[in-house]
Amino acid sequence: MKTRVTELFGIEYPILLSGMSWISVPKMVAAVSNAGGLGLLATGPLSSEETRKAVREIRESTDKPFGANLALMFPGAAENAKVLLEEKVPVINFSLGKGDWLVKRAHEYGGKVVATVVGARHALRAQDYGCDAVIATSHEAAAHGEALTTFILIPTLCDVVKIPVIAAGGIGDGRGLAAALALGAEGVSMGTRFMTTKESQLHNVYKRLSIEKDATDTLFSDRFDGLFCRVMKTEAAEKAIKRGLDLPAAFFNAREITRQLNVPFLKVFAGVAASGWKTARQMAFLANAFKAIRVATEEGDTKEGVLPVGQVMGLIHDEPTVAEVVERIVAEAKEVQRKLAEKLD
């Protein structure tokens, strides 16, 4: 397959792995890159030392292009960004912040930078300061999509930006890839489909649930992590959304996070406090969500754990290898193309 995305990143298929915390680890990243796509390392839960180690582990496992993502508002993001730039990671994907400085530094060594966006205004801004592509996260997606669905968001962005648009949300098979390309996207980014694979670090309890549940079994709310976020519908998720912000828990969870990221708690706390109530409230939400996602992903905890998933969960019926997922999707997309050609002839 040949699109602007395959040429931009030097990959065989226009399929990206979403950077999912505790799931998009070196083994998974390398598996997607070795299968012909582009694996993205999730740096959110990693200290700078862990990020450097992970990048080098990926390089030992694949000679194919790969990338890493950064949520710029998270503690430790600046330190992780420095590592990615020093290690000359081929592709850097950022979200939740302005990444113009990343573009400048990555372009100095020939790296590519991709912004994750949810609308035209952010896509145009990313294009203006030199991003090489955008990942467009739609309403159907896991975690942080907003109001527009894939069928509207993708053509909307393709009409206003010149850089490649990568579709994220509602894509888990070859039909989705073919549809995204028909809408004008140059590639797709998938998380939910890849999280239920043999190489995935997702706990088996949630792999099983993702197969058993259907497309209606998700919740979409801004009361889980302070942003509009889509998660698997479980009793724990319903409780977390009903409860909303728990400030005392956020304080202790924030201390745990800073220890994990090896950043000074008092420095982070002072910076957040000085940023105003709106930002402090958002960071408190994220501290609680961080722990809920971790215990779901790593421990299979169904009492306190909450797992971000997309509506495409309803299309998942098995647990193949990453290579089998990619091969299947490419074959299905080509079959869709053949059938469409017959219909449109």
Report the candidate in 133, 128, 129 with the shortest Cα–Cα distance to residue 113: 133
Give all domains of the chain, ordered by start, each with its CATH number.
4-203+316-344 (3.20.20.70), 204-299 (no CATH)
Residue/partner pairs of 260-263 with CB below 8 Å, 24 or more apart: 260/45, 260/47, 261/45, 261/46, 261/47, 261/75, 261/76, 262/47, 262/48, 262/49, 262/76, 263/47, 263/75, 263/76, 263/79
Cα 143–Cα 147–Cα 151 angle in degrees, nearest 5: 95
Q: pLDDT tens-digit profile of 15-58?
A: 999 999 999 999 999 999 999 999 999 999 999 999 999 999 99
Q: How confident is the model at residue 246 (pLDDT cuts 50, 70, 90)?
A: confident
Task: Write the CA distances from 340 to 92, 150, 179, 181, integer angstroms.
Answer: 35, 20, 11, 13
| Whether the predicted pLDDT of 277 surpasses 80 | no
Tokens of 69: 């993502």
| Whether the predicted pLDDT of 257 surpasses 80 | no
pTM of the complete model beyond 0.85: yes
Encode 88-110: b = buried (16+ Cβ within 10 Å), e = exposed. Answer: ebbbbbbbbeebeebbebbeeee
Q: How confident is the model at residue 269 (pLDDT cuts 50, 70, 90)?
A: low
Mean pLDDT (whole number) for 90-110: 95
| Whether the predicted pLDDT of 272 surpasses 70 | no
Of 114-128, 130-144, 249-263, 288-302, the range with the lowest mean pLDDT is: 249-263
Q: How confident is the model at residue 253 (pLDDT cuts 50, 70, 90)?
A: confident
- Phi, psi (deg, nearest 5) at residue 46: -105, 140
Q: How confident is the model at residue 287 (pLDDT cuts 50, 70, 90)?
A: confident
| Whether the predicted pLDDT of 273 surpasses 90 | no
- Phi, psi (deg, nearest 5) at residue 91: -135, 130
**What pLDDT shows up at residue 268?**
67
Cβ atoms of 146 and 139 closer than 8 Å:
yes
